[in-house]
A and B are shown apart, each in its own frame.
Chain A
Amino acid sequence: MTIYRSAAAVAVLSFVASFALTYAGAAAAYHTRFVADNCNYASPTPTTFITRDGSATVALRARHEGYQWAGGCWNDNDKDDSPNDPTTNAGTGGEGGDCSGFTFKVWREALDTSNAGFHQWGMLRNVHGPYTAAAFKAGAGAPNITASKSGLIKMDALASDGHIGLIYAVNPDGTDQIIEAKGEAYGTSIWTRTYRGSSSYSGVRRVGWSS
């Protein structure tokens, strides 16, 4: 009987240990699963009637979602589904865009930098686009131009060498409400910022809006 009791104990211990290890391993690997489990690589839909308000809607759907360096795929559940990803690893497959990937999708641009047309990307289309924040700052690509900061309006951008954010609204105290994918600890949301006045930032505008 002792040997059977021992055998049962070994079986139970094996179950508990392997369950714990497997669950912990899968949970730890969770950050690599958002893109794999949710995102797609569908072609964008070319569109001709594009408004700044429509782009604001694209941006608002990303609000409260996550941030992923070099990423560009998010859902719309107002929750960061892969919080606390390592901040310097582009391969963690977490939810969200980074600042330039977010801007690319909100401005509905094409992967071909010589194409200034509008392309509607789905939220769950995993795409970052060809531009870094510094490239946007320089007005790189056919859809993008540099613009005077004092004349920027809704859905124009303020870009530095390392970051870009979109103007959502202006505030009475001279600050702006910026909608941006700020960083892993921040996610994507709207914050009061002073980018407009800072010499680190330049004005950038997407061209071709219907209104």
Chain B
Amino acid sequence: MRWLPTIHRVWALAAVGVAAGVAAGLAISLATNALAQGASGSGAVFDVTHVPPLLTVPDASGELVYDVHCSAAGVDDPEANCSVSGTVFARRVGVGSFREIPLERRDPVTRQLAATVPDELLDSDAFEYFAVFESAEAEARLTVPPGAQSAPSVSRRLRNATPVLLGRHSFGEARRSGQRLVFARWGDGPDAAGLEEGRNLEPVGASAFDVDASGAIVVLDHANRRLLRWTKGTRAPVHVPVSINGTIADLASGGDGSFYVMETTARNGKAPLIRRFDDHGRELEAVEAAEQGTAQIRIGPDGPVVLQRPSHQWMPAAVAGVPASQAAQLQRGRMGRLLRSGGEVVVLSRTNELRVAVVAGGRSTRSWRITSETPLGEVQLAEPVGRRFVVVVRLYDGRSDEFAVLLLDRRGLVSRTTVDAADWAEAAPLGRFRLVGRDLYRLGSTPAGVFVDRFDLEVR
């Protein structure tokens, strides 16, 4: 009986321990939540977008237009735009010093700022420029493109572009079938490619592919966080697990057995990563993109290059084999994509006109003005093939879409074929086509699965 009071004390101490533990757990959890959710007021907004007139024609206007969004911190009214001043710095490419052109508001209602390029610059073969914006209210300064004089935007004059008239497109006619090389049904099994899960989400899966040096086809099965690799002549893929986000990404074969995966998402305001993996899926390196938007990765003459937004510039992910810092990327941005075969391809697409130029030695050596009565969508591919040039561009109207494959030479259109869109599942925006040798490869999908087809361009 003497033990009873002691046992009661034990129970009492245990109860105190439980109560204290619950209280401490709740307090720390709530404090953590409060810290995590911290700022709830309006932060400052300062953002500028600009579509550079990469390729101009003699009747072009010399206006450089910038959409400026600025709102000071703590101002909740989204219509209360803060005042922004800006200056364009422009010169002929590589000639003299940059001259200042003030940016002005041309319309009292919109937030656009514009500057007029002097005729002597506009009429030159090419001029380069960047713009600097400042807002005291937002306490912010922005340079567009961020590489400034080290990597300015370049606008080139097309003087003798070859005209190509596409007329009105008839959807569903003259489609070409490719040779089906590989297929994987949707799922997470050994021969399958995954679809992302989620409500309010269109089908998204198998977002990119490439063909490596050995001719093997590699599909980025991003939802299952792996590569599917089909060596030549095999029907079943080998899986290579890779440590990636599991969201839409682009893929490029490094040519040495390694692969680059360009992520498009990142957390907490950081820029997406470009990751390099060996053929066993071991991560070799990862670099953060210089800008928040990543659109496409390809292998250039000096290594991987990434198309970034909002600058619209191609920036190296590695310099001399060493991963490039964000500053190094920004300093080496280019408006065109450098080709392994030499030169640089510049593309400017508008609803009914597409301009394409091959630039070498600072001059446009071949160029085309492709006009179409049917609206033109994105340019999936623009690359030389032998002495010719191939362009893959989407054509669309309110109900249909197809890809036009245009084979061009100096005189104009050599041949034109159409490939069905086959884009049931969303993929990397510019990751659907690859040119390898003289063959065109296409990543497609249906409700059944994902596939890669090959098309012979019939280039002799």
Contact = CB atoms under 8 A, between A and B. Distances in A.
A26 B421 CA distance: 48
Contacts of A98: 199-200
Given A18-B17, A64-B268, A54 B78 contact: yes
A157 to B, nearest CB: 14
B378 interface: yes
B284 interface: no
Interface string A128-159: 00000100000000000000111000100000
B42 A123 contact: yes
Contacts of B142: none
Contacts of B400: 199
Interface residues of A, number: 99
A10 B17 contact: yes
Contacts of B309: 171, 177, 190, 192
A19 B21 contact: yes
A47 B435 CA distance: 53
Interface string B107-134: 1011100000000000000000000000
Nearest to A27: B29
Contacts, number: 283
B37 A34 contact: yes
Interface of A is mostly: mixed
Given A173-B430, A185-B196, A202-B398, A18 B421 contact: no
A12 interface: yes
Interface in B264-278: 264-265, 267-269
A202 to B, nearest CB: 7
A14 B17 contact: yes
A58 interface: yes
Contact of A51 (B42, B52, B79, B196): B79
A177 to B, nearest CB: 6
Name the residue in A34, A56, A83 with the highest tally of chain B Cβ atoms < 10 Å from its Cβ: A56
Contact of B246 (A4, A19, A185, A211): A185
Contacts of B349: 172-174
A210 B109 contact: yes
Interface string A175-210: 101000011111101111110111110110000001
B397 to A, nearest CB: 8
Contacts of A11: 13-14, 16-17
Query: Which of B40, B347, B379, B430 has its CB near the most chain A CB atoms (within 10 A)?
Result: B40
Nearest to B375: A150
Interface stretch (B43-51, B156-164, B405-413): B43-51
Given A77-B38, A87-B201, A163-B200, 18 more contacts: A7-B6, A7-B9, A19-B25, A22-B29, A25-B25, A26-B26, A61-B45, A75-B39, A150-B396, A172-B347, A175-B429, A183-B198, A187-B267, A190-B293, A191-B429, A198-B421, A198-B423, A200-B202
Interface of B: 3, 6, 9-10, 13-22, 24-26, 28-30, 32-34, 36-43, 45, 47, 49, 51-52, 54, 67, 69, 71, 76-79, 81, 107, 109-111, 196-202, 204, 245-248, 264-265, 267-269, 292-293, 295, 307, 309-310, 312, 347-349, 351, 354, 375-379, 393-396, 398-401, 421, 423, 429-430
26 contacts: A12-B17, A17-B18, A21-B21, A23-B24, A24-B25, A37-B33, A38-B37, A57-B78, A61-B78, A75-B37, A75-B39, A79-B267, A150-B351, A150-B375, A169-B310, A173-B378, A174-B354, A177-B293, A183-B200, A183-B201, A185-B198, A185-B265, A191-B429, A192-B264, A197-B378, A197-B394
